[in-house]
Amino acid sequence: MSVLLFGASKAGEFFLSQHPELNVLGFVDNDPARQGETFHGIQIFAPERIAELSFDRIVITSQWADAIRTQLINELGVAPEQIEVPTKQQVKANLPFSHPPTLALAQSLLTRLNTFLRARGIRACLDSGTLLGAIRHQDFIPWDDDIDLAIDASEFSSLIAAIPEFYHQLPEQERLDWQVVLLRVDGEDCCINIEFINKSASDFVPFDLSLQMRRLQGSHSELVSSSGLFFAPAEHFAQYDELRFLEQPFYIPTKADEFLTFMYGNWKEPKQGTKITEYQNRRAQLPVEEMKARVSKRLLVDVKQ
């Protein structure tokens, strides 16, 4: 089967690695800066080039799935039956929290970071799937693949200044090479990712921890790195409650159960195989221009021994 992957992203990278049987003709991306380049040795095309290509299916490997599907059908003339939106598990890493040593690593990383930030007056709030796991499972969700924390915009500069000191406390440094990466979207620093690579004798399953800026915009709290895609009612992040988790107090959104309902619907019933289009905390339709966010990265910490 010949496919195009719409979204030259980490999600596209994972989908590519999990489906070696597919004939991937190329990536498609709305970002003009990416078009004409290669990603994992595969050409990146502008959307307008789709009409020139012979393919069986287009798989959307981007968080902008709703808007891209509309773009493909209404602007580019692609038949709906040729468009596929994969499940989160198809575009995410292998299940790190189902691997006991990796689960223990994630627990250690989160508790060390929580202690470090609280000592400096920086409030890291459990968010998204990590919050859901803490409340429903009292642990990480076994089929989740990352750690989600929210940082209020007023504290993000303090986080950037403090986080390089945390590298001394990163766990398993003799077995892992750690990196702390700062993401900038449309000229604004708005997310810090803590990532690792196994050294030769290690077999931890890769995951990352993200500290994402949230900003109150009128009646909404916006995840700044999503360029307006993901939001929540402001009341949940205007102030925080606390939850005992992993034997520590953690900040959580106010009325966390209502926030989870807003995000997931019936969150009390575990569900695997979710698609991004099923998330209720997203703006389903955004202009194509919103999908052209300029994203850059730079290392804050690179720990190698």
Amino acid at 206: P
Contact (Cβ atoms closer than 8 angstroms) between residue 57 and residue 84? yes
Mark residue 56 as left, alpha or beta (left: phi above 0; alpha: psi -120 to 50; beta: remaining): alpha
Which pTM value belongs to this model? Answer: 0.79
By the 10 Å C-beta count (0-12 exposed, 13-18 middle, 19+ buried), 157 is classed as exposed
Predicted confidence at residue 225, as pLDDT, reads 86
Predicted confidence at residue 271, as pLDDT, reads 83
Handedness of CA 152, 194, 64, 51 (dihedral sign): positive
Nearest partner of 230 among 182, 273, 293, judged by Cα: 293
305 residues of the chain, pLDDT tens digit each:
899 999 998 888 888 888 889 999 999 999 888 899 999 999 999 999 999 999 999 999 987 788 888 899 999 999 999 999 887 777 776 789 999 999 999 999 999 999 999 999 999 999 999 999 999 999 999 999 999 999 999 999 999 999 999 998 999 999 999 999 999 988 899 999 999 999 988 899 999 999 999 999 999 999 998 877 788 999 999 999 999 999 999 999 999 999 999 998 899 998 876 665 566 555 554 555 555 567 788 888 776 64
**Burial track 110-149 (b if 16+ CB lie within 10 A, e otherwise):** bbebbebbeeeebbbbbbbbbbbbbbeeeebbebbbbbbb
